Structure 1
């Protein structure tokens, strides 16, 4: 029984497909099939049911899978322990981020500096909503994420607030609200609003504030990029709720109103796993980014 066979078996079980598993492993599909067949012959049982459109575990496969994963985890742990003793950091890390970070977070610069310090670590980057990013951190599929608050944080996830600024309302220069300097949520209740989609920190803050005031906002447009929200407002398609730093970037084309009663704030935070297994590469990444971004919590 070889570790390679256990790795191929566990990957096919996770992907439920030989082709996807081979692509993930960066090997040819016949090689994956052949190694799993060898493992099945050694164990004397079929581990995978190949009769359907998707590959499923047999009863024997379901029994073997936890042991295969444990063996692979033990080997990875042994390698990490030796690397740490030798002062080496290598492996893979995944960083998640919301779409727009604003001027205070230079994520490409942070990742470039980390790569310079740890060239043996492969770094991946993904974009998603705050809710999904927090879940990815909690389950270990993402090592560090920049998320918008407020959002529910499950146990085992730690946070460091790195941006804290007011949320404001922006409208086109010809909008009736352009004669005012501030607006309440109630004053916006009957107007078409432009906002980030559900699951984002900004939208959660807006929805919670409206619910507390007994209001139901009229969301006319949703977009995942705050810059798109501002450009929609420039075209006169509604009032957009955006972070103040973004609004200032469009001050020549938009009128900015202070949002009052209640005053809302946009917060961005680093999120990382504080419980469960965390490898040395992920620990180094978290240390690097936390040290580079001041805690504004």
Structure 2
């Protein structure tokens, strides 16, 4: 068994087939197929089901895949550790984020640009995705660090660090100074999509209160939410930093935006440098 066997297996799974894997790795497709059959003979089990229109993992393949990813990550980590020791920071870093990522202190484009200036030898990729797919990508190793809304119960198998919190408030005509989530029962709600930190906090509060809000519109653009609420006698639920005059919830609601990474494998030098860079930018 050699690393190239494991690299080919992971590529076929991630790319969804032999042809696209060959294109991604810049090798001939028959070579990938031949090498994987050699690996299957060595293990005594088929790893890929080739019988259908697409290539899928067998039960043995499902069991082997996490170890293949870990072995490739460990091999890359050996090289990166030596580079870090000699002061030459190189490698690859995959960053994931919810599409609504924003902060009163800093923005992701500037964060990444500044990091790249400090570490030009690190190849960066950025993926936008809702929270749950981001968590899956982190656990599978396809993403090294992710920025996402944090639920009350921390995600299993991941380390998280809160970068900032923002109060979740209501805005709309005729609202009192404070209101419960159940107090929105007679109003249409205009708020953020379900995968954002604002919506996660609001939905969890509604669940605790056994209240089902009537969500009429979703967007990550606060001015649109405020305008719709005013025109339709509804309520906009959004971060306090996005609207000057607002109504606080009782009890208060707070969204939490965090960065997350795997806790069950060593953090690569590139990811470790990026985590430190982000902490510094967030002032923590």
TM-score by length of 1: 0.77
Once superposed, what is the RMSD of the aligned Cα atoms?
Answer: 3.4
**Of 218, 235, 248, which residue of structure 2 is paired with 1:259?**
248
Partner of 2:228: 232
Count of paired positions: 280
Shift of 1:57: 5.8
Shift of 1:282: 0.9
Compared CA separation, residues 86 and 102, structure 1 to 2 (3 A): closer
Partner of 1:34: 31
In structure 1, stretches of 5+ residues that fail to align are: 249-255
Partner of 1:253: none
Compared CA separation, residues 109 and 186, structure 1 to 2 (3 A): same
Are the aligned partners of 1:197 and 1:224 in contact in 2 as well (CA < 8 Å)? yes
Are the aligned partners of 1:156 and 1:276 in contact in 2 as well (CA < 8 Å)? no
Q: Does 1:287 align with 2:283?
A: no
Shift of 1:15: 3.8
Partner of 2:19: 19
**Aligned residue runs from structure 1 range 1-297, under 5 A:** 3-4=3-4, 6-25=6-25, 27=26, 31-37=28-34, 40=37, 50-56=50-56, 72-73=72-73, 75-98=75-98, 99-171=100-172, 175=173, 177=174, 180-226=176-222, 228-236=224-232, 238-248=234-244, 256-295=245-284
Query: 1 CA distance for matches of 2:39 and 2:209?
Result: 66
Please state whether the residue corresponding to 1:96 is helix, strand or coil: strand
**1:76-103: CA deviation from partner (whole Å, max 9, x where unpaired):** 2332232233222211112222314143
Compared CA separation, residues 41 and 247, structure 1 to 2 (3 A): closer
- Specify the structure having the higher radius of gyration (Cα): 1
**1:164-203: CA deviation from partner (whole Å, max 9, x where unpaired):** 23222122xxx4x16x544443331111111223343322
Greater Cα shift, 259-268 or 43-52: 43-52
Are the aligned partners of 1:138 and 1:154 in contact in 2 as well (CA < 8 Å)? no
**1:109-167: CA deviation from partner (whole Å, max 9, x where unpaired):** 11111101111111122223334434433443322222223343224423332222322
